[in-house]
Copies of this chain bind each other. A is one copy, B any other.
Amino acid sequence: MDKNYKIEVIEDVAGLGLVKGFKVAGVGCDIRNKNDMSRLDTALIVSDVLATASGVFTTNDVKAAPVLVDMAHLDASSKVKAIIANSGNANACTGKQGMADANDTCKFVADIYGVKKEQVLVCSTGRIGEFMPMEKLKSGILSASEKLGNDDQSSENASRAIMTSDTRPKTVLVNVEFNGKKFSIAGMAKGAGMIEPNMATMLAFLVSDVSISQNFLKESLRMAANKTFNRITVDGDMSTNDTVLCLCNGAGDVEISETDADAIEAFRAGIIEASRVLARKIVGDGEKITKVVEVKVKGARDEAQAEKICRAIGNSLLVKSSWFGCDPNWGRLTDAAGYARTGIVLDKIDLYYNDVEVLKAGQPVDANKPKWCEIVANKTFTITMNLNLGTAEESILSADLTDEYVNFNKGE
């Protein structure tokens, strides 16, 4: 089927300032309490006009204060002026004081721009169980508001300010063209890492110049997150702060009308592509990993079965250890698939490393063994398990488990 749109994807761009009508800044205000103002820790994203906004949040029972505040704000207001994000302190497990601080942060930003508190969103990542140093954060916000720009340096500073144990900023620009019209989506993310005695929070911020209804944005963002950010795993630990936000300010020429099938298709493709690139960057920069592995399960009875097996394989310590050791250990793969307890039949399973057959109807194709070993030594490869039970499929991106991961995370 021909697509009615064209997509250009540019990775590792300056950042969000590349999209019309957005200005950003990243500054340092020593949120980590280390007397170091040079470490960027506060990012401010501001839209010239109020933007349609939506978010997808962690489903952890224990949600950090900023997550609870953002959920309430998006319920109260479909339009948002700004996002304020900090690294170094997660404002999680901080009780009433934490909620007051998150609300106060939004109010402080809102007052600068003369909008309602509900028209500001807040995200935090870093150390948990400690109160936010509010005076420092506020001075950071003031400084950021004075430095706002759409130049490359401002964009890059913002994408660096949300990093914790990330080794590099993660950004993408997606330009979409359809029916002679053009729009852009830019994104930045921080990844699965937890330096300081803490947790693997992922944050992603997407901005676009389209005009769109909140309902349709919500639906599209949820779908994109499900296909991308919810299909990655580094250590299987879901954070209290995971957040994906998207602002669409209508500063461009394109309206994504719910009656325009081409527009819908193009916007969805764009937001999925931007999310996919960021999700892959998050796994690829996972703590102390050496390999990114795509796990695909095909021929499942339904998507739920395929997803369960993908996650069992992608989170198995034994499987992940064997990837680290370049060991093409199919036994651990079938074992993990089996303990997902979805009703698989070993004798029906075909298994592949990239395109090379490993199991045919549950039996090893030993002649191919030299080729498996070659593939598993690569930095990225794909494992495909065909259950031969139905037609559903799912995939996730995972990473290996290394001795350095354990040492990095063993703490104090």
Residues of B within 8 A of A199 (CB): 318, 331-332, 335
Cross-chain contact B330 with A61 (CB below 8 angstroms)? no
Residue of B nearest to A240 (CB): B335
Interface pair B332/A62, CB less than 8 Å apart = no
Of A81-89, A158-166, A176-184, A338-346, the one touching chain B: A338-346
A347 partner residues in chain B, CB cutoff 8 A: 95
Instruction: Establish whether residues B412 and A403, one from each chain, have CB atoms under 8 Å apart when the complex forms.
Output: no
Q: Judging by beta carbons under 8 Å apart, are A317 and B410 in contact?
A: no
A337 within 8 A of B: yes
Q: 1/0 contact trace for A370-381 toward B, CB 8 Å?
A: 000100000000
Q: Is the CB of A342 within 8 A of B61?
A: yes
Q: How far is the CA of A407 from the CA of B404 in the complex (A)?
A: 10
A66 to chain B, nearest CB (A): 15
The answer to whether A128 and B341 have CB atoms under 8 Å apart is no
The residues of B that contact A344 with a CB separation of less than 8 Å are 61-62
Nearest CB in chain B to that of A127: its residue: B331
Decide yes or no: A60 and B339 within 8 Å by CB, A235-B317, A325-B412, A406-B321 being known contacts. Answer: yes
Scan A399-412; emit 1 where CB is below 8 A from any B CB, else 0.
00111111101111
Separation of A374 and B237 alpha carbons in the complex (Å): 26
Cα distance, A402 to B404, chains bound together (Å): 10
Query: Residue A364 at the B interface, CB < 8 A?
Result: yes
- Beyond A316-B237, A317-B235, A331-B199, whether A410 also contacts B325 by CB under 8 A is yes
Residues of chain B within 8 A (CB-CB) of A200 are 318
**Residues A403 and B411 in contact, CB atoms below 8 Å apart:** no
Question: Per a CB cutoff under 8 Å, which of B316, B327, B336 touches A411?
Answer: B327
Q: Mark A332-371, 1 if CB is under 8 A from B, else 0.
A: 1011111111111111000000000000001110000000
Cα A313 to Cα B411 with chains together (Å): 17
Q: Are A61 and B401 in contact (CB under 8 A)?
A: no
Do B406 and A340 touch across chains, with their CB atoms under 8 A apart?
Answer: no
Instruction: Identify which of B92, B197, B318 contacts A322 (C-beta below 8 A).
Output: B197
Q: What is the CA–CA distance of A344 and B63 in the complex, to the nearest angstrom? A: 11
With beta carbons under 8 angstroms apart, the residue of B61, B93, B407 that contacts A340 is B61
Q: Is B331 touching A411 in the complex (CB atoms < 8 A)?
A: no
In the complex, A194 has a CB within 8 A of chain B = yes
Closest to A320 in B: B406
Selected from B194, B324, B404, the residue in CB contact (under 8 A) with A410 is B324
Whether A198 sits at the interface, judged by CB under 8 Å, is yes
Q: Decide yes or no: A237 and B129 within 8 Å by CB, A93-B346, A332-B199 being known contacts.
A: no
Say yes or no: is A329 at the interface (Cβ < 8 Å to chain B): yes
Mark A164-197 against chain B: 1 for CB-CB distance below 8 A, else 0. 0000000000000000000000000000001001
Q: Is the CB of A317 within 8 A of B401?
A: yes
- A230 located at the interface, meaning its Cβ lies under 8 Å from any Cβ of chain B in the complex: no
> Quick check: A329 and B61 within 8 Å, CB to CB?
no
In the assembled complex, which residues on chain B have CB atoms less than 8 Å from the CB atom of A240? 334-335, 338
Q: Residues 3-25 of chain A: 1 if any B CB is under 8 Å from the residue's CB, otherwise 0?
A: 00000000000000000000000
Query: A238 at interface (Cβ–Cβ under 8 A)?
Result: yes
Query: Could you tell me if A317 and B318 are in contact, using CB atoms closer than 8 angstroms?
Result: no
Q: Which residues of B contact A129 (CB under 8 A)?
A: 330-331, 364
The minimal Cβ–Cβ distance linking A236 to chain B, given in whole angstroms, is 7
The chain B residue with its CB closest to the CB of A408 is B321
Q: Pick the most buried of A60, A316, A331, A364: most chain B CB atoms within 10 A of its CB.
A: A331
Most buried by B among A326, A329, A343: A329
Cross-chain contact A95 with B363 (CB below 8 angstroms) = yes
Q: Is the CB of A59 closer than 8 A to any CB of chain B?
A: yes
Shortest CB-to-CB span from A94 to chain B, Å, is: 9
Q: Given the interface contacts A62-B344, A331-B93, does A238 sit within 8 Å of B339 by beta carbon? A: yes
Task: Report the bound CA distance from A327 to B410 in whole Å.
Answer: 7
Of the A-B pairs whose beta carbons lie under 8 Å apart in the complex, a sample of 9, sorted by A's number, is A61-B343, A235-B318, A237-B332, A238-B338, A318-B409, A322-B409, A326-B410, A403-B403, A403-B406
